[in-house]
Amino acid sequence: MITIFGVPSAALFGQLLLGLINGSFYAILSLGLAVIFGLLNIINFTHGALYMMGAFVAWMLLNYLGIGYWWALLLAPLAVGFVGMLIERNYIAPLSFTNQRQSFVLIGASALGFLLLFYGLRIGPTAAFAGAAAIGVAAASVYAWKRPSQTSTVHVDHLYGLLLTFGLALIIQGLFRNEYGVSGLPYSIPSQLSGGQQIRIFDAPIMFMPNYRGWVIVASLVVCMATWFIIEKTKLGAYLRAATENPTLVGAFGVNVPLMITLTYGFGVALAAFAGVLAAPIYSVNPNMGADLIIVVFAVVVIGGMGSILGSIITGFALGLVEGLTKVFYPEASSTVIFVIMVLVLLVKPAGLFGRAS
Amino acid sequence: MAEAALRAPRAGAAAAPLLAVNNLEAWYGESHVLHGITFDVAPGEVVTLLGRNGAGKTTTLRSIIGIMGKRTGSVTFDGAETIRMPSRSIARLGVGYVPEERGIFASLSVYENLTLPPIVKPGGLSVDQIYELFPNLRERSGSQGTKLSGGEQQMLAIGRILRTGAKLLLLDEPTEGLAPVIVQQIGRTIERLKGEGFTIILVEQNFRFAQTVANRHYVVEQGKVVDMIPNEVLDQNIDKLHRYLGV
Ligand SMILES: Nc1ncnc2c1ncn2[C@@H]1O[C@H](COP(=O)(O)OP(=O)(O)OP(=O)(O)O)[C@@H](O)[C@H]1O
Ligand SMILES: [Mg+2]
């Protein structure tokens, strides 16, 4: 058996692989947060809940409709992205409206919907709540289409968006917990990716690499790099970067900035849902899976620097590796090392490693 | 039809105005800064807004393009009432805006800055034509937008709205803080744009410069238009103008 610094190679590389897998999820999630933060100026706390929702959509597609992993990889991000766009239009955007008429429609229609579904049609409590939310959103969307609200030019404090999305995240998680419990639902690895490879260097076995884990790393890298490319190198990305700097001026050139904001939020949470589908076969599908992960991801975002695209990708993967190494060499600190780094970075470079001080 | 097309662009007030501003009021939050601005601009005309610091010239342009939080009164462009429109719809009617602070994007290259504003009407300049107008921009096309000199940034800010096909250009102090040779270059550009039929509202502190390009001058004072001086009689009115501007 080969040892490195007194550690068996299989253990070392096994932990590094695990670190890279975790790093993949950190990277995709913090990338979505960075994109959303850049344009919306909102710290999106629903991100973890929507990651969880992505995994659940994959599970539902399989168990209710017989639709398998590969389609889920496409459909779950689309579905969750659509939910995200509704959240942005009906809950986040009104924070900066000049009046709250649309919100009154949302609240009124949701309340009436709940009375109708729960007391009238005697539908179960969780389904009635979800149905009422859908009715409220539908009514508010129709209202917004007939009588669009004006967005105020005064910037709203980040804190409101953070508190709002935090509340929404807890509600979404609660709904899934009521319906599916917390024990976790199995989701199996697609047959094309079962099994694994023995990795050898000069015929010496180094480690065993399950195919699915290799796929997760490759898929995350590809998605992260593609997102980076779109934002930094394309015309679409130029609009996004410009609107991040000065949305008013981009609007004054004739661009529909509110629509861009909605689509960007949808795209950011679709990334989270994609990560959720990737995660489903590794971790079981569980209503709490997002809440556990998102705290670490926020630390990653702080370390990388709010809103930095490349920074969030690099920091995500790097911190996954650091965590893996810590498990091998200093296991006592493995669950806190990221937060220790966060504190140190905040002390030394408060804007984050890749962030620009504003 | 043919007669209308042959009519000189500076037929002045006789032609139906391209832009008519009536009793325009605007607010920054609670503070009321425009108190009833009224003026108009004929197609093909260059008019200036002159006035002291804080008179409300920038706010007038911001209200025309629709980026003031609250504004009332009437602004018609090409026959369409725009006072209730969001800024993107006003831009799409063919209004191009060059802000006082220039608004060059730091995260975009010069080329990306130049091609950012969408084409809103046919008949805009091509990127090559803009590079001919401002050769510096061609050389620096790969640089970060904000790495340009002040003069180059101003050229970029003007150049990028020439691509869009906008017919009315709102230029807020394009010569502010620039060296005399650059001011001359911008003056020649405005002359040329005027020759090509663009309609321009120019905010200026430097009325010596304004005199070389404008047809008429509006004087803004404390959120109101208080006077209009045709360019031909500017010299006779120089004392009055000095009083208005406090120089
Ligand atoms: N963002 C703002 N918030 C509040 N008040 C403002 C704001 N911008 C300008 N003002 C006020 O509105 C009034 C008009 O300002 P405006 O910028 O339109 O003047 P200006 O004529 O363009 O002046 P300058 O020649 O200095 O550019 C001034 O009294 C100014 O103090
Ligand atoms: Mg000004």
Q: What pLDDT does residue B7 have?
A: 39
Q: What pLDDT does residue A26 have?
A: 95
- CA of residue A146 to ligand 2 center, whole Å: 36
- CA of residue B124 to ligand 2 center, whole Å: 27
Q: Give tens-digit pLDDT for A253-304.
A: 999 999 999 999 999 999 999 999 999 999 889 999 999 899 999 999 999 9
pLDDT higher than threshold 60 for residue B1: no
Cβ contacts of B116 on chain A, cutoff 8 Å: 238-239, 242, 250, 253
Q: What pLDDT does residue A4 have?
A: 73
Question: B79 with B18: CB under 8 angstroms?
Answer: no
Q: Give tens-digit pLDDT for B38-94.
A: 999 999 999 999 999 999 999 999 999 999 988 999 999 999 999 999 999 999 999
Return the higher-pLDDT residue of B174 and A199.
Answer: B174
Q: Give tens-digit pLDDT for B131-152.
A: 999 999 999 999 998 999 999 9
- Residue in chain B closest to A148 (alpha carbons) equals B86
- CA of residue B148 to ligand 1 center, whole Å: 26
H/E element, A287:
none
Q: Give A253→chain B minimum CA distance, Å.
A: 5
H/E element, A44:
none
Q: What pLDDT does residue B11 have?
A: 45
How remote is the C-alpha of A255 from its chain's centroid?
Answer: 27
Which phi and psi (to 5°) does residue B149 adopt? Answer: -70, 165
Mean pLDDT of A176-199: 88
Q: Does A228 reach chain B within 8 Å, measured CB to CB?
A: no
Q: Does A241 reach chain B within 8 Å, measured CB to CB?
A: yes
Cβ contacts of B91 on chain A, cutoff 8 Å: 251-254
Q: Distance (Å, rounded) from C-alpha B107 to C-alpha B113?
A: 9
Ligand nearest, relative to CA of residue B26 = 1
Q: How confident is the model at residue B15 (pLDDT cuts 50, 70, 90)?
A: low
| Residue A189 exposure: Cα atoms within 13 Å on the Cβ side | 15
Q: What pLDDT does residue B10 have?
A: 47
Instruction: Name the closest-CA residue to atom 3, ligand 1.
Output: B28
A348 by Cβ neighbours in 10 Å (0-12 / 13-18 / 19+) ranks as: exposed
Q: Distance (Å, rounded) from C-alpha A296 to C-alpha A319?
A: 10
Q: How confident is the model at residue A3 (pLDDT cuts 50, 70, 90)?
A: confident
Q: How confident is the model at residue A154 (pLDDT cuts 50, 70, 90)?
A: low
pLDDT higher than threshold 50 for residue A150: yes
Question: B186 with B175: CB under 8 angstroms?
Answer: yes
pLDDT higher than threshold 70 for residue A153: no
Q: What pLDDT does residue B14 have?
A: 55
Task: Tell me the three state secondary structure of residue A286.
Answer: coil
What architecture is domain B1-94+167-176+202-247? Answer: 3-Layer(aba) Sandwich (3.40)
- Complex prediction ipTM: 0.90
Mean pLDDT of chain A: 91
Q: Give tens-digit pLDDT for A90-107.
A: 999 888 888 888 999 999
Percent of chain B with pLDDT over 90: 76
The residue written with tokens 């589908």 in the block is A277
Q: Give tens-digit pLDDT for A27-46.
A: 999 999 999 988 888 889 99
Q: Distance (Å, rounded) from C-alpha B69 to C-alpha B30?
A: 10
Q: In sequence order, what DSSP letters do the residues of A9-29 get, joined into one string? A: HHHHHHHHHHHHHHHHHHHHH
- CA of residue B244 to ligand 2 center, whole Å: 16
Cβ contacts of B29 on chain A, cutoff 8 Å: 154
CB atoms under 10 Å from CB of B4, counted, come to: 8
CB atoms under 10 Å from CB of A331, counted, come to: 10
pLDDT higher than threshold 70 for residue B158: yes
Instruction: Name the closest-CA residue to atom 28, ligand 1.
Output: B54
pLDDT higher than threshold 60 for residue A252: yes
Mean pLDDT of A55-69: 95
Cβ contacts of A252 on chain B, cutoff 8 Å: 65-67, 87-88, 90-91, 97
Q: Closest to A252 (Cβ–Cβ): which among B65, B105, B108?
A: B65
Question: A297 with A33: CB under 8 angstroms?
Answer: yes
pLDDT higher than threshold 80 for residue B98: yes
Q: Give B142→chain A minimum CA distance, Å.
A: 12
Mean pLDDT of chain B: 90
Pairwise CB contact (< 8 Å): B118 & A249: no
Q: What pLDDT does residue B222 have?
A: 94
Q: How confident is the model at residue A343 (pLDDT cuts 50, 70, 90)?
A: very high
Over its C-alpha atoms, chain B yields an Rg (Å, rounded) of 17
The residue written with tokens 């419990």 in the block is A181
Q: How confident is the model at residue A25 (pLDDT cuts 50, 70, 90)?
A: very high
**Token pair of A54, please?**
């992505």
Atom of ligand 1 nearest to the CA of B223: 14
Q: Distance (Å, rounded) from C-alpha B94 to C-alpha B71?
A: 20
Pairwise CB contact (< 8 Å): A254 & B117: yes
pTM of the predicted model as reported, rounded to 2 decimal places: 0.90
Q: What pLDDT does residue B2 have?
A: 40
